[in-house]
Amino acid sequence: MIINIGILAHVDAGKTTLTESLSYKSGVILEPGSVDKGTTITDSMLLEKQRGITIQASVTSLKWRGVKVNIVDTPGHMDFLAEVQRSLAVLDGAVLVISAKDGVQAQTRILFHALRKLGIPTLLFINKIDQEGVDLSAVYEDIQEKLAPEIIVKQRVDLSVLAVAPSGDPARWDNVIAGDDDLLTRFERGETLSEAQLQRCEEQRFKSCTLFPVYHGSAKKNVGILALLDAIVLHFSVLASGGSSLCGSVFKIEYPEKGRRMAYLRLFSGRLHARDRIDWAGRREKFRISEMRVPQSGKILRSEAAEPGEIVILPSVPLKLNDVLGDPNLLPRTSQADPPPMVQARIEPARAQEREALLQALGEIADTDPLLRYDVDSITHEITLSFLGKVQMEILCALLLEKYGISVRLGRPTVIYKERPVAQAAHTIHIEVPPNPFWASIGLSIEPLPLGSGLVYESHVPTGYLQQSFQNAVRDGVRCGCEQGPCGWELTDCRICFQYALYYSAASTPADFRMLAPIVLEQTLRKAGTQLLEPYLSFTLYAPQPYMSRAYHDMRKYEGHIDTVLPRKHETVLIGEIPFRHIQQFREEFALCTNGLGVCLTELKGYRISKGEALCRPRRPNQRLDKTRHLFNKMDPWG
């Protein structure tokens, strides 16, 4: 049997040290590594070792009581939450590490929120019980108040001698009984409930993420690790499954060496063999496996076959993140869509001769992280990065220097806006009417749609008159034109209709229509006018009570609003929206005002009409269209 688990924690809770201790106690390594010394088996990037935090998900493996356990050591920083969620989607369960000294931290709550959202069964491990001043009762209360009240403490702990043992306290079953109507009714009638009945209920509720077992230990001193290994096998073995039909999903791309590419695949069901030709979901061609590797006892070894549940590493394959091999309908859960990048900045090498090396490095990094994108201007050759957050950019710059030896300069980051037409408009450019150089006539109309509708394209020209190849050319040309509105941003939330066409059968080609369509769209947008849309985030704040005295002041300051207020015992939950351009500054101020105790969960809500200063950007040059565009603009009375 193979089970796959993730280990998650807030920064410095001992997540990587715990992985080392599990590997040591299971016999994988002779001596546990140290985060401080940079000798751990999971933190493979030099940058990770220097900072002492995990950035990319690493995989190690151990065997315990006949069960193979693959451990995905997931990132612990909130700016890498997208990779955390990608990793979670391939897991059977998770171990959430909590520091006995620090208790539940803001990042702990963010990670627990992600686990609950994806329905990942979770064990709680209270680490660092060897530290002075530990109060486990206070930690339990902290967990029940900030994470979930439905916990079951599985051990009794003697802090004086650092010993943990199975709990014999009947009160440990209280939450199990209280969460099951049948057991609660029988208990209230005075019936005796057997240990087997209670354990079955515990197992069912753990599987449904409505009960969370709690274990204890010290990873640094290897206390409680054997009990945790037993718990992992006991709780997660019932979750592992795998049928005969093939289904696997790619959750990580890695470049361990220059030019060497690895794709990490979770095999949910079916078996893989070297040299197999298998279906590649969404593609017509089959995929051939020439070589495969699997994690084995702390190493990555070549293998001729892989069993259901295995994590398979495929070298030098064209697979991308979230690609599926086999039947996608067999995936146990759908992966969360990555949020679009919302910030962009120009990047250039400090030494001009390293430009090509920078482009190659960015290509590799973007391949491993879909939250990072880059574009190269075909005329100015400027490189523009699109990304999510400040820490992501800091890590990128450090990674370029550490792994690729490239020092870079970044321009000022700007928010990525979108454009939407203000009014309805229509425009037609006729064949053989100067300055139209193309053998085509095209008429387009445009109208704004409600926010969040996206882009809608319709053709009202019958294919009986204009062949499908010409229709496709117009559609492609319109899509090209939608990439840049009058202010230089992507067009959205509107309906574009192809209303009129004229062609000469002896002279017209699809290329004529493809080239003319974006020019017609631009002229139509000039008549309609556009407005800028900016990204808005929905937020959920878990704030200590004293923060309420300034909550509404901060929202006015940052142009946000609070929709819902939910008072709790020691904190208040605030739900609302805020413009993305203010979120970084708001997060920093919120953390300062709450002494790091506040939690800010955000998601992209959508795009709203921008209230800030209108920010246009230069249009990207297009050698084929710029000359024609210039001719039309000179004659355009709307220009």
What is the total count of domains within the chain?
5
8 A C-beta contact, residue 425 and residue 530: no
The better pLDDT of the pair 117, 439 is held by 439
What's the CATH code of the domain at 370?
3.30.70.870
Which of 389, 415, 441 finishes a domain?
415
Model pLDDT, residue 297? 83
Dihedral through CA 407, CA 411, CA 412, CA 417, nearest 10?
-120
Report in angstroms the alpha-carbon separations of 460 from 314, 442, 457, 470, 474.
47, 12, 10, 13, 12
Give the DSSP letter of residue 338. Answer: P
Distance CA 89, CA 344 (A): 28
Summarised one tens digit per residue, pLDDT across range 321-335 is 888 888 888 888 776
Model pLDDT, residue 332? 84
Same domain, 470 and 409: no
Helix (H) or strand (E) holding 226: helix 225-236
Same domain, 87 and 205: yes
pLDDT for residue 80 is more than 80 = no
Which of 58-72, 162-176, 625-639 is predicted with the least confidence, judged by mean pLDDT?
625-639
Letter for the amino acid at 451?
L
Model pLDDT, residue 564? 96
Structure tokens at 259: 């030019």
Structure tokens at 626: 């710029």
Summarised one tens digit per residue, pLDDT across range 518-564 is 999 999 999 999 999 999 999 999 999 999 889 999 999 999 999 99
Report, as an integer, the average pLDDT of 409-428.
Answer: 95
Same domain, 411 and 427: no
Three-point CA angle 68, 71, 73, nearest 5°: 175
8 A C-beta contact, residue 593 and residue 573: no
Report, as an integer, the average pLDDT of 594-622.
Answer: 84
What's the CATH code of the domain at 445?
3.30.230.10
Residue 60 maps to a domain: yes
Report, as an integer, the average pLDDT of 230-248.
Answer: 83
Candidates 96, 224, 115; CA nearest to 165 is 224
pLDDT band at residue 368, thresholds of 50, 70 and 90? confident
Three-point CA angle 293, 298, 301, nearest 5°: 20
Residue 242 maps to a domain: no
Report, as an integer, the average pLDDT of 15-26.
Answer: 90
Same domain, 60 and 74: yes
What is the b/e burial string over 620-633, where b = at least 16 CB atoms within 10 angstroms of the residue's CB? eeeeebeebbeebe
Model pLDDT, residue 49? 47
Same domain, 10 and 143: yes
What's the CATH code of the domain at 85?
3.40.50.300
Report, as an integer, the average pLDDT of 148-176.
Answer: 88
Which of 71-75, 178-182, 270-274, 535-539 is predicted with the least confidence, judged by mean pLDDT?
71-75
Report, as an integer, the average pLDDT of 247-268.
Answer: 86
Q: How many residues does the chain have?
A: 639
Question: What radius of gyration do the chain's Cα atoms show?
Answer: 29
Model pLDDT, residue 425? 98
Model pLDDT, residue 341? 87
Residue 614 maps to a domain: no
8 A C-beta contact, residue 441 and residue 502: yes
Query: What is the per-residue DSSP string for 364-385?
Result: HHHHH-TT-EEEE-TTT--EEE
Residue 290 maps to a domain: yes
Same domain, 65 and 181: yes
Same domain, 95 and 144: yes
pLDDT for residue 375 is more than 80 = yes
Structure tokens at 466: 């204009």
Same domain, 552 and 630: no
pLDDT for residue 236 is more than 50 = yes
Report, as an integer, the average pLDDT of 386-391.
Answer: 82
The values of phi and psi at residue 611, to 5°, are -100, -10
574: Cα within 13 Å, side-chain hemisphere: 24
Which of 236, 262, 291 finishes a domain?
236
What's the CATH code of the domain at 253?
2.40.30.10
165: Cα within 13 Å, side-chain hemisphere: 6
Model pLDDT, residue 333? 78
Summarised one tens digit per residue, pLDDT across range 33-73 is 666 655 566 554 444 445 444 434 468 899 999 999 999 86
8 A C-beta contact, residue 56 and residue 256: no
The better pLDDT of the pair 93, 627 is held by 93
Model pLDDT, residue 37? 59
Model pLDDT, residue 82? 59
Residue 288 maps to a domain: yes
pLDDT band at residue 586, thresholds of 50, 70 and 90? very high
Letter for the amino acid at 285?
E
Give the DSSP letter of residue 103. Answer: B
Q: Taking all residues of the chain, what is their mean pLDDT, rounded to a whole number?
A: 87
Same domain, 451 and 371: no
8 A C-beta contact, residue 559 and residue 579: yes
Same domain, 499 and 582: no
Report, as an integer, the average pLDDT of 287-292.
Answer: 87
Report in angstroms the alpha-carbon separations of 248 from 86, 135, 602.
14, 44, 30
Distance CA 317, CA 320 (A): 9
Helix (H) or strand (E) holding 415: strand 414-415
Distance CA 207, CA 617 (A): 51
Candidates 480, 486, 423, 410; CA nearest to 449 is 423
Which of 240-254, 290-304, 492-506, 617-631 is predicted with the least confidence, judged by mean pLDDT?
617-631
pLDDT for residue 148 is more than 60 = yes
Residue 498 maps to a domain: yes
Q: Given phi > 0 = left and psi -120 to 50 = alpha, else beta, which region is 562? A: beta
pLDDT band at residue 430, thresholds of 50, 70 and 90? very high
Task: Enumerate the H helices of 119-188 as residue ranges.
Answer: 136-146, 174-178, 181-188
Q: Look up the domain containing 36 and give its range.
A: 2-236
Model pLDDT, residue 41? 60
What is the b/e burial string over 402-432, where b = at least 16 CB atoms within 10 angstroms of the residue's CB? ebbebebeeeebebbbbbbbeeebbbbbebe
Model pLDDT, residue 243? 75
Report, as an integer, the average pLDDT of 132-150.
Answer: 94
Query: Quick one: the chain helix, strand, coil %, rounded to 5?
Result: 30, 30, 35
Candidates 292, 268, 288, 270; CA nearest to 279 is 288
Strands 67-73 and 93-99: unpaired
Distance CA 116, CA 209 (A): 7
What's the CATH code of the domain at 556?
3.30.70.240
Same domain, 13 and 144: yes
Residue 113 maps to a domain: yes
Residue 337 maps to a domain: no
Candidates 394, 325, 406, 335; CA nearest to 364 is 406
Dihedral through CA 392, CA 393, CA 399, CA 405, nearest 10?
170
Model pLDDT, residue 258? 67
Model pLDDT, residue 336? 65
Same domain, 521 and 541: no
Which of 236, 263, 293 finishes a domain?
236
8 A C-beta contact, residue 443 and residue 517: no
